[in-house]
Amino acid sequence: MIQVAFYDAKEYDRPAFEQYGAMHGMRFHFLETRLNADTVALAAGCDAVCVFVNDQVDAAVIDRLHGYGVKLIALRSAGYNNVDVRAAYGKVHVVHVPAYSPYAVAEHAMALLLTSVRRIHKAYNRTREFNFSLNGLTGFDFHGKTVGVIGTGKIGRIFINICRGFGMRVLAYDKYPAADSGIEYAALDRLFAESDVISLHCPLTEETRHLIDGNAIRKMKKGVVIVNTSRGALIDAEALLSGIKARHVGAACLDVYEEEADVFFEDRSGHILNDDLLSRLISMPNVIVTSHQAFLTREALGNIAETTVNNIRSYFDNDGICDNELCYRCGNIEQCRKERKERCF
């Protein structure tokens, strides 16, 4: 039986993983703690580790996993910026779940956007107190507005289709624009200058870290609404707060936050939050924060468990060959077009 140390396990993870794991001869050891240098020893004796977005899989952790004989790091997420894939090369293979429900994330981005622009969160609180005043609840029509979409992969394209359903004009930026997609691509500066709404759907890489900084915000339209359901560090949160305080940024919808690893996914309601920047952002009337929940639908959880179990099974049954391996042989994961009939190393 394949033994898997399952880090950062939450109540909502277990049912689907237990179900698919049992079907495929796999035993998950559910650990509430996150993977880091202090907790890596819990993986000793396991064949694989299963990790999520805030597990810290850096070079030191990878060396220890390698030392314990762990063969596989199975990410149960699409993003892999928390895994030092370069350091893993030649030691431990890394697989991920490239898609589980891009609809879940794209729909959440639109849910945040509608909530923010139409002040639904304010109205909900008011009517619960029998306050039926409309003062301060004025929004704007999406129809005819321009939405700038950065990253036109699986999620970005679904978000584009949703926006088109609202009659919005779409401008997009992608490092690797999709040919024949019917999407109007523009340089970032033009996208910043023309967009009423900007939504981020690209991965976090060295290149995209703080893609939205003070300089970028200054190029945006006054009143721009920024949506981030991708990765927190795409935005320089200090610069975003300054843009909001200067009344230049009209609203921000954030499902992710650069320092979320220390805060998100836990109930901290009885505690004093040490993150002043996050506290200040949350205190703004035009900022909505959800704690990395864009993926959280029944469909996505089922698909994540099924694909992760299939990835692990395929790796151990198939001489280490897995379609969803993050291959680093060529040194360029983003553009690697390796035929998946062989292992990365």
Name the residues annotated as catalytic: 231, 260, 292
Closest by CA to 75, choosing from 337, 295, 297, is 295
Which runs of E-coded beta strand occur in 209-318?
224-228, 249-254, 287-289
What's the token pair of residue 58? 């850096």
Q: Minimum distance between the CB of residue 319 and ligand NAI, rounded to whole angstroms?
A: 27
User: Does the footprint of ligand NAI cover residue 203 (CB under 6 A)?
Assistant: yes
How far apart are alpha carbons 112 and 107 in whole angstroms? 9
Is residue 175 part of the contact set for ligand NAI (CB under 6 A)?
Answer: yes
Residue 153 within binding range of ligand NAI, rule CB under 6 A:
yes
Backbone angles phi, psi at 54, to 5 degrees: -105, 5
Closer to ligand NAI by Cβ: residue 120 or 333: 333
Spell out the residues 6+ positions from residue 47 whose beta carbon is closer than 8 angstroms to its own: 2, 3, 4, 70, 71, 72, 316
Q: Count other Cβ atoms within 10 Å, centred on residue 91.
A: 17
**Which of 35/78 has CB closer to ligand NAI?**
78
Binding mask 240-269 for ligand NAI (x = CB under 6 A): ---------------xx-------------
Interface with ligand NAI, residue 183, by CB under 6 A: no
Select from 152, 201, 153, 149 the least CA-distant residue to 170.
149
Q: Using CB under 6 A, which of the segments 13-21, 145-153, 240-248, 308-316 binds ligand NAI?
A: 145-153
Nearer to ligand NAI, 78 or 322 (CB): 78
Q: Which residue is nearest to ligand NAI (CB)?
A: 153
Residue 207 sits in the site that holds ligand NAI (CB under 6 A)? yes
Among 6, 295, 315, 328, binds ligand NAI (CB under 6 A): 295
**Residue 105 beta carbon to ligand NAI: minimum distance, rounded to whole angstroms:** 5
d(CA 287, CA 251): 6
Pick from 12, 124, 176, 345: which binds ligand NAI (CB under 6 A)? 176
**3-class DSSP string for 104-127:** HHHHHHHHHHHHHHCCHHHHHHHH
User: 184 vs 152, 155, 171, 174, 322, CA distance in Å?
Assistant: 11, 17, 5, 11, 35
Run of H or E residues at 334: none
Task: Name the E strands within 188-264.
Answer: 197-200, 224-228, 249-254
Contact 139, 117 (CB under 8 A): yes
Minimum Å gap between C-beta 148 and ligand NAI is 12
Span near ligand NAI by CB under 6 A; candidates 34-42, 114-122, 149-157, 275-283: 149-157
Which of these segments, 4-12, 20-28, 82-90, 197-205, binds ligand NAI (CB under 6 A)? 197-205
- How far apart, in whole angstroms, are the C-alpha atoms of residue 37 and residue 319? 29
Contact between 189 and ligand NAI per CB under 6 A: no
Q: Which of 21, 102, 243, 250 binds ligand NAI (CB under 6 A)?
A: 102
Residue 196 binds to ligand NAI (criterion: CB under 6 A): no
Site for ligand NAI in 211-230 (CB under 6 A): 229-230
Give the total of residues touching ligand NAI (CB under 6 A): 32
Residue 186 contacts by C-beta under 8 Å, 6 or more apart in sequence? Answer: 148, 171, 172, 173, 194
Q: Could you list the residues that contact ligand NAI (CB under 6 A)? A: 78-79, 99, 102, 105, 150-156, 173-176, 201-205, 207-208, 229-231, 255-256, 292, 294-295, 334
